[in-house]
A and B are shown apart, each in its own frame.
Chain A
Amino acid sequence: MPFREGPLGDLKVPLTWTAAVALIVAAVIAVAFLLADRRETLQEQAYGVTRQTVDVVAKPVSGAIAAPGRWTGLGLDFVRSYFFTASENRRLKSELAEMRQWRDRALDLQDQNERFKSLLGLRTDPPIPMASARVVADSRGPFANTRLADAGSERGIEVGNPVLNERGLVGRVVGVSRGASRVLLLTDIASRTPVMIDRTNARAILTGDGGPNPKLEYLRGVDPIQQGDRVVTSGDGGVVPRGLPVGAAVKGLDGRWRVVLFADQSSIDYIRILLFKDFAQLADEKQLEAKTLPPVTTEDPQTSILSAPTPPAPKPAATTTPPSAATATPPAGAQPKPATPKPAAPKPAQPKPATAATPVPTGSPR
């Protein structure tokens, strides 16, 4: 039976009031969504199933919408290259002549670098694998700066992976689904990236604010930065590898140091996602949580360090006397013992666990 023909059919409720109630209910739902949102944590769990589903659906649709624009750009590039081939050829020749000098210099430095590394026995970082992807959607508003890329979990991409284009760092992956991944740009208000000034090694945090030039916050050191200084990732915290190019420092109109991003100087439709895992992810947490420490099997530190002759008959009181300042200072808890091995000699009364955990100390006081 239709509602209008029932006993409540004559009930007249002013539409304005019901509309107001509906508005309030909708607003309460929106507030609940906003309070429950954990986007700023940038954790994998915060990127829910709804967002993943929308990304999966939006990828082909946005890809189809963006395709005509991409084809038009390719066509214009073709026409431009046809008409400007001669001037481009001249420019490329001069650039090649300059680059040849840089190539020789780079090869020289590489050779020198390899020799230094072998001399010092340095362990360098392993090469990081990467996945290329195409951007199909790009949001540029003041409250969200993200991109949707057409490669996802099937390519090994994970939340936290850094993203670059051919010029520099773009951002990092905050959400992954099958066939699509969401990239949080450096300019997003939730983005925080540890960086350093290449010239001075001064550390800072690159903080997005929705504008094109993110801010440099917590800049440390005396006179740490100048106009035009190159800014690279510091690798602190293990989120991104060290040394990725980010941009150039500029003084903003508000008097704060900002960064002109290198990534903005090139096209935005292709990106490279570094399949980089930070050190915290690589470490086996279960092993780190081991309760028992491994046994000390090193040589007796007293015999190796305190090689000077010791009194022939140590008294029990000697174990409690502090070592002389003139001699090499043993670590705390390690008391001087006779140099000759004596099974019956009294051991230090209470060896501290810290001594066992620390490496073999050197003779020089620190």
Chain B
Amino acid sequence: MSMSGGRALNPARWLGVPMLLCIFATMLFAAPIRIWGLQLPEPVFAMVPAFAWAMIRPSILAPFALLILGLFLDIFWGGPTGLWGLSLLVAYAMVLILRNAMTGQSRPMMWAWFAGVTAVAMIAGFLFTMLDSLAMPSLLAVFWQFLVTALLFPFAHRLVDRFEDADVRFR
């Protein structure tokens, strides 16, 4: 057994790198491109770490990393500050609470859990927007964003697989 297996997980690897990848992917999909008259979809890439980080292990740094990621989304997308930070934290808290029930499930079941958590984050965003703007967002637009975000589960699964057993203290 190598010595690296017994060490604590480096936060830069399981928090920093996914965060940077999310930021890059968000900027990539914000490109003003139309293909056959259709715009690119706009998934919430930050849902991947919000789900995976809570599944990997409880952490002190992860909520703050999510908060930073959410604030970036709000500012980059031009939305109300704090909206996505709060919505992502709601999703993270839900996964943290239900972590024991989710662990060890089959891949399709985990995908269903991911879709459920994404739905909770979208509903939270919907309600916070209603409170902030005193207007109701389009349900169809919310549904489309939920759909394209739910398709990101393979990335979350990869992240969980990569780091789930990386820290021996949480095996």
Interface 1/0 per residue, B126-152 and A, CB below 8 Å: 101100111111101110110000000
Pair B30/A137 contact, Cβ less than 8 Å: yes
Are the C-beta atoms of A146 and B77 separated by less than 8 Å?
Answer: yes
Residue of A nearest to B125 (CB): A143
Residues of chain B with a CB closer than 8 A to A142's CB: 125-126, 129, 137-138, 141-142, 144-145
Contacts of B90 in A (CB 8 A): 27
A141-B79 contact, Cβ under 8 Å, with A33-B85, A210-B138: yes
Q: Contact between A30 and B75 (Cβ–Cβ < 8 Å)?
A: no
Interface size counted on chain B using CB atoms at 8 A: 58
- Total CB contacts across the A-B interface at under 8 A: 185
In the bound complex, how far is the Cα of B142 from the Cα of A285, in angstroms?
44
Interchain CB contact under 8 A, A26 and B89: yes
Q: How far apart are the CA atoms of A296 and B28 in the complex, in Å? A: 67
* B82 A22 Cβ-Cβ under 8 A: no
Q: Are A40 and B77 in contact (CB under 8 A)?
A: no
Binds A, one of B14-22, B31-39, B106-114, B153-161: B31-39
Stretch from A54-62, A196-204, A335-343 at the B interface: A54-62
Distance between B42 CB and nearest chain A CB, rounded to angstroms: 5
Question: In the complex, A139 Cα to B39 Cα: how many Å?
Answer: 10
Q: Nearest A residue to B67 by beta-carbon distance?
A: A26
Asked if A143 contacts B76 (CB within 8 A), the reply is no
- In chain A, what residue has the closest Cβ to B66? A26
Kindly identify which residue among A32, A36, A143, A212 contacts B137, using a CB–CB cutoff of 8 Å.
Answer: A143
Q: What is the chain A residue whose CB lies nearest that of B31? A: A66
A15-B63 Cα distance, complex, nearest whole Å:
13
B75 / chain A contacts, CB cutoff of 8 Å: 50-51, 54
B55 within 8 A of A: no
Instruction: Give 1 or 0 for each of B61-87: 1 = CB within 8 Å of chain A CB.
Output: 111101100111011111111111110
B96 touches A30 (CB 8 A): no
**With the chains together, A141 CA to B43 CA distance in Å?**
8
Contacts known (A30-B67, A30-B86); A211 close to B138, Cβ less than 8 A: yes
From the candidates A36, A188, A210, name the one contacting B81 in the complex (CB within 8 A): A36
How many angstroms from the CA of A137 to the CA of B133 in the assembled complex?
Answer: 23
**Interfacial residues of chain A within 111-135, with CB under 8 A of chain B in the complex:** 135
Is A146 within 8 A of B135, CB to CB?
no
A135→B83 CA distance, assembly (Å): 24
Cβ contact within 8 Å between B78 and A182: yes
Cα distance A288–B2 in the bound complex, in angstroms: 80
In the complex, which residues of chain A have a beta carbon less than 8 angstroms from the beta carbon of B82? 30-37
Residues A137 and B32 in contact, CB atoms below 8 Å apart: yes
CA distance A317 to B81 in the complex (A): 71
Q: Give A191-219 interface residues, CB cut-off 8 Å to B.
A: 207, 209-212
**A323 located at the interface, meaning its Cβ lies under 8 Å from any Cβ of chain B in the complex:** no
A6 within 8 A of B: no
CB distance from A61 to the nearest CB of B (A): 6
Q: Is A184 an interface position by the 8 A CB rule?
A: yes
B98 touches A (CB below 8 Å): no
A244 located at the interface, meaning its Cβ lies under 8 Å from any Cβ of chain B in the complex: no
Least CB separation from B77: chain A residue:
A139
Q: Which residues of A contact B85 (CB under 8 A)?
A: 26, 29-30, 33
Tell me whether B76 and A27 are in contact (CB under 8 A): no
> Smallest CB-CB separation from B75: which chain A residue?
A54
Q: Are B27 and A37 in contact (CB under 8 A)?
A: no
* Residue B60 lies at the interface, judged by CB distance under 8 Å to chain A: yes
Interface check A73, CB cutoff 8 A: yes
27 contacts between A and B (CB under 8 A): A16-B58, A18-B60, A22-B59, A22-B62, A23-B92, A30-B89, A34-B81, A34-B83, A37-B82, A39-B78, A39-B132, A54-B75, A65-B28, A65-B30, A73-B34, A137-B27, A137-B76, A139-B76, A142-B145, A143-B79, A143-B83, A144-B78, A144-B79, A188-B78, A209-B135, A210-B141, A267-B34
A interface residues, Cβ below 8 angstroms from B: 15-16, 18-20, 22-23, 25-27, 29-37, 39-40, 50-51, 54, 58, 61-62, 65-66, 69-70, 73, 135-148, 174-175, 182, 184, 188-190, 207, 209-212, 267-269
- B interface residues with partner A (beta carbon < 8 Å): 27-28, 30-34, 39-40, 42, 44, 57-64, 66-67, 70-72, 74-86, 89-90, 92-93, 96, 125-126, 128-129, 132-138, 140-142, 144-145
